[in-house]
Chain A
Amino acid sequence: MSSSDSSLSISSEDPSDRNHDLNPKSIEDQLASTSLVEIDAQEPEDHREIQNGVDYASAGEGSHHQEIENNDEEVIVDAAQEELPSNFGVPGGLVEVEEASMGLGRGGVVWMRTNSELEVDRPSSPSSSGYAGERGSSGASSGGVSGTDEVVEDEIQEDRNDAVDDVLDSQASWVPGKRHVDEDDASISWRKRKKHFFILSHSGKPIYSRYGDEHKLAGFSATLQAIISFVENGGDRVKLVRAGKHQVVFLVKGPIYSVCISCTEEPFESLRGQLELIYGQMILILTKSVNRCFEKNPKFDMTPLLGGTDVVFSSLIHSFSWNPATFLHAYTCLPLAYGTRQAAGAILQDVADSGVLFAILMCKHKVISLVGAQKASLHPDDMLLLANFVMSSESFRTSESFSPICLPRYNPMAFLYAYVHYLDVDTYLMLLTTSSDAFYHLKDCRIRIEMVLLKSNVLSEVQRSMVDGGMRVEDLPVDLLPRSRTFPHLGQHKLPTDSPDRFRESYAGVGGPAGLWHFIYRSIFLDQYVSSEFSAPISTPKQQKRLYRAYQKFYTSMHDRGIGPHKTQFRRDENYVLLCWVTQDFELYAAFDPLADKALAIKTCNRVCQWVKDVENEIFLLGASPFSW
């Protein structure tokens, strides 16, 4: 990683870094303001919800209530961001389409296509698409606002009923697997779910649905297929349909169609990226050669081929709300002393030289070390999908196993064989090979690796790192203040893990220096990111998910080809100050207290970058990519 000597300064020329009050207000702008005020009135209630500890991620029956729930916070964030200058004055592109739909009102449907930006204004009715955006009351299609409010009230009530259960739930207790199998598209609860994912075949046969039994959704799938083929018949491709606050995103990959229907206000690009990952997960299980089945028989039923993989998909979909790797396209490492990681890397290199294609040692979703045979490189998305596949399948924990898997970015057509073995409850070794006879060789490799790891204490260091955690904003070196310490590196934090949180709870809004709450640093050359540990005030999974959604939106706007790429962006809304800084070497995303001082925030970002560089030996796997040293 080359250290960039440029630093972010207050006077940086940043077109988007302007106070929006200076801008003349467009009609949309005013609309957005109106809605902002309107929703603002509900704010105290939302906050109470958070205080009650209503968590998004919860196990079992409790969870679907959150899923149904209309997340008001997200609406607020969105409305506030509509006001931001970076979204305005854009010629063409998705942003404009979305704004137009705001202007059309909630009944408007906007079709977004590849070749043309045709907008179709059409009242949405439950019968027109088989899917109702708002079906809260009979007057929903005309009086959209009141209809929505009604739904919101319903859902808040449902939430309160479950608040007691939800307090007990946390991300850690999330149980993968399909729920609500009894539902179908006629169920009100099914229609109210905030985010649906479907995979279907080009003949309209359901392959996968996040909620409900695929077989019962045949009619619904056929409707989705009809929409896609209707547009295709016109020599075009449908990418996005907006219906009120719902987005319907399409991804067509040969005979396999993926569709997301969401009212989560995530950007189109993010949802499309999630569909790409879901499709990739399917390829990882089956390879792309499954397409041949459809060539032989267009009405081929693919569901049996994916038997038993509901947990894999549900855990991937869950990770969209807690794992930033899903939108950063980078992986993260478990913090370890340089020497420890080197020791692990050396033994992995040893086996890679003996005919193993990839040797990957991971602890949960974090990489300990990773080695590829010559010229073989592993895409971060493939790692994400592979780790998700292994972690979500309980069967890998029972014994060592040898399974065919496909890395979609490496070679979507062919199976590799994965030897998987858990070394302890969270740490697992994956050895990938092209040879189906290699099991006993890989088993021997594993025995050697395990011996070396035990001897060099790598496994105990891994355990310790898991307990100690990663970078904490509280530990950010502050050179000017008297309380500063000299570069407290990882694992040297002085306070026990839980005490700072308790201490700070009374001071909502105090995390690190200058109101720094959280950051993500992504090294572009390394394809790796490091993210700070969550601490107060972002302590519940629900708040964390909201922050990730905000980052995700930020990431999208930073990478928008139409208006970007930006170098810096500074956004302030009632939830956060978000600051992003992109250079050739890295991307930094930082969240601050909404009242944070801008100049100080910028200064703090410079410190974060310096800090990351100071500890890069411990937080990154260096030497894994040809660009690094």
Chain B
Amino acid sequence: MSSEGVLRLEKVIHTLMATSGNKNINAKLVLLGDVGAGKSSLVLRFVKGQFIEFQESTIGAAFFSQTLAVNDATVKFEIWDTAGQERYHSLAPMYYRGAAAAIIVYDITNQASFERAKKWVQELHSQGNPNMVVALAGNKADLLEARKVAAEEAQAYAQENGLFFMETSAKTATNVNDIFYEIAKRLPRVQPAQNPSGMVLMDRPAERVASASCCS
């Protein structure tokens, strides 16, 4: 099968999925933040339900996908878990370009990681998509006794900058699914509502055309 054929078939499949009644939203989501803030841990908790105490640092960026059902839609997240290492900063646009959502992660026990998070917010505001849903995650919320960043301070910062804020713990799973769920709810819905009765009629011919060209 030619790659063109594959592409067409994929389109058909997407359309078929759309006919299943629920809205399907594909959303690119990027995680940004300082080294060791817990970006990979958050993603692994969300995608695989795992937690590793000594998570190795990410190289470049790791790709995950996870689907969430929200009331009115199914959201398929394509998640880019970027490396926090300084050498990858200049490459970050490659990963956040075209993203519908971002989670900026800091470590509540590390003031510097909060400062770094603010820099990411600025960068997204100046470079990123203005409609991007941006969440601020204060991770490692289980380490209360080592807290360096007050929740109120982060909350206030988030409000000023139009982000929504949650404290999370990948270790105890607190608020991890919630933050992704909240993003899914806030994603702009693809407008307008597709005409449910007309869909079937419109799509069938398209499918036939596609499969015909595929086999020819």
Q: Within 8 Å of chain A (Cβ to Cβ): is B128?
A: no
Q: How far is the CA of A354 from the CA of B2 in the complex (A)?
A: 11
Cβ of A393 and Cβ of B87 under 8 Å apart? Answer: no
From A40-48, A241-249, A395-403, A551-559, the one touching the partner chain is: A395-403
Q: How far is the CA of A400 from the CA of B60 in the complex (A)?
A: 11
Least CB distance, A382 to chain B, in whole angstroms: 17
Query: A310's closest neighbor in chain B, by CB?
Result: B57
Q: Within 8 Å of chain A (Cβ to Cβ): is B35?
A: yes
Q: How far is the CA of A306 from the CA of B59 in the complex (A)?
A: 11
Candidates A304, A402, A444; contact of B63 at CB < 8 Å:
A402
Q: CB-CB < 8 A to A405: which residues of B?
A: 60
Candidates B58, B91, B94; contact of A395 at CB < 8 Å:
B58
B16-62 interface (Cβ within 8 A of A): 35, 40, 44, 56-62
Q: How far is the CA of A405 from the CA of B57 in the complex (A)?
A: 16
Cβ of A395 and Cβ of B56 under 8 Å apart? Answer: yes
Q: Within 8 Å of chain B (Cβ to Cβ): is A439?
A: yes
Q: Within 8 Å of chain B (Cβ to Cβ): is A263?
A: no
Q: Within 8 Å of chain A (Cβ to Cβ): is B200?
A: no
Q: How far is the CA of A286 from the CA of B64 in the complex (A)?
A: 25
Q: How far is the CA of A399 from the CA of B86 in the complex (A)?
A: 21
Cβ of A305 and Cβ of B87 under 8 Å apart? Answer: yes
Cβ of B35 and Cβ of A399 under 8 Å apart? Answer: no
Cβ of B57 and Cβ of A398 under 8 Å apart? Answer: no
Q: Within 8 Å of chain B (Cβ to Cβ): is A404?
A: yes
Cβ of A402 and Cβ of B61 under 8 Å apart? Answer: yes
Query: B90's closest neighbor in chain A, by CB?
Result: A404
Least CB distance, B21 to chain A, in whole angstroms: 27
Q: CB-CB < 8 A to B64: which residues of A?
A: 399
Cβ of B56 and Cβ of A393 under 8 Å apart? Answer: yes
Q: CB-CB < 8 A to A286: which residues of B?
A: 87
Q: CB-CB < 8 A to A285: which residues of B?
A: 87
Q: CB-CB < 8 A to A443: which residues of B?
A: 63
Bitwise interface map of A from 408 to 433 toward B, beta carbon under 8 Å scored 1, else 0? 00000000001000000000000000
Query: A306's closest neighbor in chain B, by CB?
Result: B87
Q: Within 8 Å of chain B (Cβ to Cβ): is A482?
A: no
Q: How far is the CA of A308 from the CA of B56 in the complex (A)?
A: 8
Least CB distance, B44 to chain A, in whole angstroms: 7
Cβ of A444 and Cβ of B6 under 8 Å apart? Answer: yes
Bitwise interface map of B from 70 to 94 toward A, beta carbon under 8 Å scored 1, else 0? 0000000000010101111001001
Q: How far is the CA of A553 from the CA of B35 in the complex (A)?
A: 42
Q: Within 8 Å of chain A (Cβ to Cβ): is B159?
A: no
Q: Within 8 Å of chain A (Cβ to Cβ): is B3?
A: yes
Least CB distance, B28 to chain A, in whole angstroms: 11
Least CB distance, A348 to chain B, in whole angstroms: 16
Cβ of A304 and Cβ of B44 under 8 Å apart? Answer: no
Least CB distance, B50 to chain A, in whole angstroms: 9
Least CB distance, B148 to chain A, in whole angstroms: 21
Q: CB-CB < 8 A to B56: which residues of A?
A: 308, 311, 393-395
Bitwise interface map of A from 54 to 97 toward B, beta carbon under 8 Å scored 1, else 0? 00000000000000000000000000000000000000000000
Q: How far is the CA of A212 from the CA of B153 in the complex (A)?
A: 38
Least CB distance, B190 to chain A, in whole angstroms: 20
Q: How far is the CA of A436 from the CA of B94 in the complex (A)?
A: 7
Q: CB-CB < 8 A to B87: which residues of A?
A: 285-286, 304-307
Cβ of A400 and Cβ of B63 under 8 Å apart? Answer: yes
Cβ of B85 and Cβ of A308 under 8 Å apart? Answer: yes
Interface residues of B, CB < 8 Å — how many? Answer: 22
> Which of A286, A395, A396, A444 lies at the interface centre, i.e. has the most chain B CB atoms within 10 A of its CB?
A395
Q: CB-CB < 8 A to A399: which residues of B?
A: 62-64, 81
A331-355 interface (Cβ within 8 A of B): 354
Query: A304's closest neighbor in chain B, by CB?
Result: B86
Cβ of B35 and Cβ of A403 under 8 Å apart? Answer: no
Cβ of B63 and Cβ of A403 under 8 Å apart? Answer: no
Q: CB-CB < 8 A to A389: which residues of B?
A: 59
Q: CB-CB < 8 A to A403: which residues of B?
A: 59-61, 83
Q: CB-CB < 8 A to B58: which residues of A?
A: 395, 401
Least CB distance, A467 to chain B, in whole angstroms: 28
Cβ of A404 and Cβ of B62 under 8 Å apart? Answer: no
Candidates A395, A396, A436; contact of B40 at CB < 8 Å:
A395
> Which of A306, A403, A418 lies at the interface centre, i.e. has the most chain B CB atoms within 10 A of its CB?
A403
Q: CB-CB < 8 A to B44: which residues of A?
A: 398
Least CB distance, A392 to chain B, in whole angstroms: 10
Cβ of A307 and Cβ of B85 under 8 Å apart? Answer: yes
Cβ of A354 and Cβ of B3 under 8 Å apart? Answer: yes
Query: B80's closest neighbor in chain A, by CB?
Result: A402
Least CB distance, B170 to chain A, in whole angstroms: 14
Q: How far is the CA of A305 from the CA of B87 in the complex (A)?
A: 5
Q: CB-CB < 8 A to B6: which residues of A?
A: 444
Query: B60's closest neighbor in chain A, by CB?
Result: A403
Q: How far is the CA of A395 from the CA of B59 in the complex (A)?
A: 6
Cβ of A307 and Cβ of B35 under 8 Å apart? Answer: yes
Cβ of B61 and Cβ of A401 under 8 Å apart? Answer: yes
Q: How far is the CA of A443 from the CA of B58 in the complex (A)?
A: 19
Q: How far is the CA of A415 from the CA of B189 in the complex (A)?
A: 37
Least CB distance, B161 to chain A, in whole angstroms: 27
Known: A286-B87, A354-B3, A444-B6. A308 touches B57 (CB 8 A): yes
Q: How far is the CA of A305 from the CA of B61 in the complex (A)?
A: 16
Known: A308-B35, A436-B94, A444-B6. A401 touches B86 (CB 8 A): no
Least CB distance, B34 to chain A, in whole angstroms: 11
Query: A415's closest neighbor in chain B, by CB?
Result: B91
Least CB distance, A306 to chain B, in whole angstroms: 7
Query: A290's closest neighbor in chain B, by CB?
Result: B87
> Which of B58, B59, B64 lies at the interface centre, i.e. has the most chain A CB atoms within 10 A of its CB?
B59
Candidates A304, A354, A404, A444; contact of B91 at CB < 8 Å:
A404
> Which of B56, B64, B88, B94 lies at the interface centre, i.e. has the most chain A CB atoms within 10 A of its CB?
B56
Q: CB-CB < 8 A to A418: which residues of B?
A: 60
A374-403 interface (Cβ within 8 A of B): 389, 393-396, 398-403
> Which of A354, A398, A400, A439 lies at the interface centre, i.e. has the most chain B CB atoms within 10 A of its CB?
A398
Give me the 9 closest cross-chain CB pairs, A-B, nearest first: A403-B60, A308-B57, A394-B56, A401-B62, A399-B62, A305-B87, A395-B58, A307-B85, A304-B86
27 of the cross-chain contacts (CB-CB < 8 Å) are: A306-B87, A307-B85, A308-B83, A354-B3, A389-B59, A393-B59, A395-B40, A395-B57, A395-B83, A396-B59, A398-B40, A398-B44, A399-B62, A399-B63, A399-B81, A400-B62, A401-B60, A401-B61, A401-B62, A401-B63, A402-B60, A402-B61, A402-B63, A404-B88, A418-B60, A436-B94, A444-B6
Binding site for A on B (CB under 8 A): 3, 6, 35, 40, 44, 56-64, 81, 83, 85-88, 91, 94
Binding site for B on A (CB under 8 A): 285-286, 304-308, 311, 354, 389, 393-396, 398-405, 418, 436-437, 439, 443-444
| Besides A400-B62, A403-B83, 8 other A-B contacts (C-beta < 8 A) | A307-B35, A307-B87, A308-B56, A308-B83, A395-B58, A398-B62, A444-B3, A444-B6
